[in-house]
């Protein structure tokens, strides 16, 4: 009750602060348009933002261990988050500065127009791609290698339960987590990328075909897609994976191929809808009519006239879809039917160490175990979306 009361009081204080800020601003600047035309909500927002910022700074400098000797988990995690945020911002800034001085004229110009978020996204994507490609050289140990030391905590500091040999610790059966994270990039990201490309090839082609030809083909394809979309996708994927695992038998790699196909087909339905909708808007344009009257074939119409004009929405969808596919694979692995052990996979890693999150209040380092793989997933998702947002902004900016 008292918490609620405090919250109400703080909000009232902020509300009063907003009014004071606006009034003081008007008086101090002699009614400058910025303060004169400032809506009250905006003034409130400024004050609220300032309060939150001050609170964050105060909270950041709280001790990590309480007087009773128990770790203050909230502060620890908050510090990690803030430090990571600042480091990423610096990295992104340095990366952009590098891009502006090194490279061809075109790439320099590209970096000059790039917002910080986009350069962070590009950096993340490059790092992940690099890690995935050179996983075998980067990883200190094999993804299947098992060591005697189990449940080593991250940090590499022997005093806090770590081991310098395993900087990110080991799992319950003694596999090096850093190596598995690196190989996980290869497996999870690689498979997700292939799956998304396949989904786009399938959904995009059929969607544009439906939009261009219309008539019965459109009806058949659209209704088929409706049926597929009516079934909840994760459950549908689980069902199909169960069947597929019976078909695959003991061939583990075959199951991965089946998984790629199944997720690609399920996700292609979403791509189909988008491609069809975008395509329908484009086929009514006069330049399509001109091409038809010229006697152009279907291939030319789709790939030369429609596709270039549909890239912006499709790219945006690609970013989102990639993340969804990625998460679907991770969740299938989490449920035990996705990427099969001993192959390292982030979804499986989260599942294996998920229960450690319960120790967050007592030992933040232990709780960090599942967060490593989950953070790897989250970081890529955020990075890809930053890049896609920027591309979208650029391509829409070109039009008008």
Residues that bind another protein (CB under 8 A): 33, 36-37, 285-287, 289-290, 292-296, 304-305, 308-309, 311, 398-399
Determine the Cα angle at 185 with ends 184 and 187, to 5°: 60
Residue 393 Cβ, how far from another protein at the closest point, in Å? Answer: 14
CA dist., res. 231 & res. 101, Å (int)? 51
The residue among 1 and 284 lying less far from another protein, judged by its C-beta, is 284
Residue 232 Cβ, how far from another protein at the closest point, in Å? Answer: 33
DSSP code for 337: S
Characterise 215 by phi-psi region: left (phi > 0), alpha (psi -120 to 50), beta (else): left
The residue among 223 and 292 lying less far from another protein, judged by its C-beta, is 292
Q: Give how far the C-alpha of residue 63 lies from the chain's centroid of Cα atoms, to the nearest Å.
A: 32
Residue 336 Cβ, how far from another protein at the closest point, in Å? Answer: 46
The residue among 144 and 289 lying less far from another protein, judged by its C-beta, is 289
The residue among 48 and 213 lying less far from another protein, judged by its C-beta, is 213
CA dist., res. 228 & res. 231, Å (int)? 6
Characterise 31 by phi-psi region: left (phi > 0), alpha (psi -120 to 50), beta (else): left
Residue 17 Cβ, how far from another protein at the closest point, in Å? Answer: 22
The residue among 106 and 249 lying less far from another protein, judged by its C-beta, is 106
CA dist., res. 221 & res. 230, Å (int)? 14
Q: How far is CA 396 from CA 116, 122, 281, 385, in A?
A: 19, 19, 16, 16
The residue among 13 and 45 lying less far from another protein, judged by its C-beta, is 45
CA dist., res. 400 & res. 395, Å (int)? 9
Beta pairing partners, 166: 163
Residue 222 Cβ, how far from another protein at the closest point, in Å? Answer: 21
Residue 289 Cβ, how far from another protein at the closest point, in Å? Answer: 7
């Amino acid at each position: 009750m008292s918490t609620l009361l405090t919250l109400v009081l703080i909000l009232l204080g902020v509300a009063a602060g907003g009014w004071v800020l606006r009034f003081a601003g008007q008086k101090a600047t002699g009614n400058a348009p910025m303060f004169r035309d400032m809506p009250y909500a905006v003034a409130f927002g400024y004050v609220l933002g300032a309060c939150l910022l001050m609170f964050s700074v105060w909270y950041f400098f709280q001790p990590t261990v309480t007087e009773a000797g128990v770790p203050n988990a909230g502060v620890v995690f908050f510090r990690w988050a803030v430090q990571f945020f600042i480091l990423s911002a610096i990295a992104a800034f340095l990366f952009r500065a590098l891009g502006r001085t090194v490279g061809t004229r075109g790439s320099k110009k590209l970096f000059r127009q790039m917002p910080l978020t986009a350069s962070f996204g590009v950096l993340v994507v490059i790092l992940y791609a690099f890690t995935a490609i050179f996983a075998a050289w980067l990883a200190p140990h094999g993804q299947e290698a098992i060591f005697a030391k189990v449940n080593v905590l991250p940090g590499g500091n022997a005093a806090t339960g770590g081991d310098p040999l395993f900087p990110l610790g080991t799992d319950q059966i003694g596999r090096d987590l850093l190596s598995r994270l690196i190989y996980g990039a290869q497996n999870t990201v690689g498979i997700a990328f292939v799956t998304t490309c396949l989904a786009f090839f399938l959904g995009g082609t059929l969607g544009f075909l439906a939009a261009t030809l219309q008539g019965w083909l459109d009806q058949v394809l659209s209704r088929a897609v409706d049926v597929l979309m009516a079934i909840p996708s994760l459950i549908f994927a689980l069902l199909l994976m169960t069947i597929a695992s019976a078909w695959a038998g003991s061939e583990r790699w075959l199951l991965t191929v089946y998984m790629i196909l199944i997720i690609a087909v399920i996700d292609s339905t979403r791509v189909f809808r988008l491609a069809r909708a975008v395509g329908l808007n484009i086929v009514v344009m006069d330049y399509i009519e001109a091409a038809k009257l010229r006697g152009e074939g279907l291939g030319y119409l789709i790939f030369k006239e429609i596709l270039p004009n549909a890239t912006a929405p499709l790219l945006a969808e690609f970013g989102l879809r990639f993340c969804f596919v990625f998460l679907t694979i991770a969740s299938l692995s989490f449920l035990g039917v996705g990427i099969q052990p001993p192959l390292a996979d982030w979804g499986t890693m989260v599942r294996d160490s998920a229960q450690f999150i319960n120790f967050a209040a007592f030992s933040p380092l232990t709780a960090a175990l599942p967060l490593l793989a989950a953070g790897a997933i989250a970081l890529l998702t955020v990075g890809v979306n930053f890049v896609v947002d920027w591309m979208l902004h650029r391509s829409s900016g070109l039009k008008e």
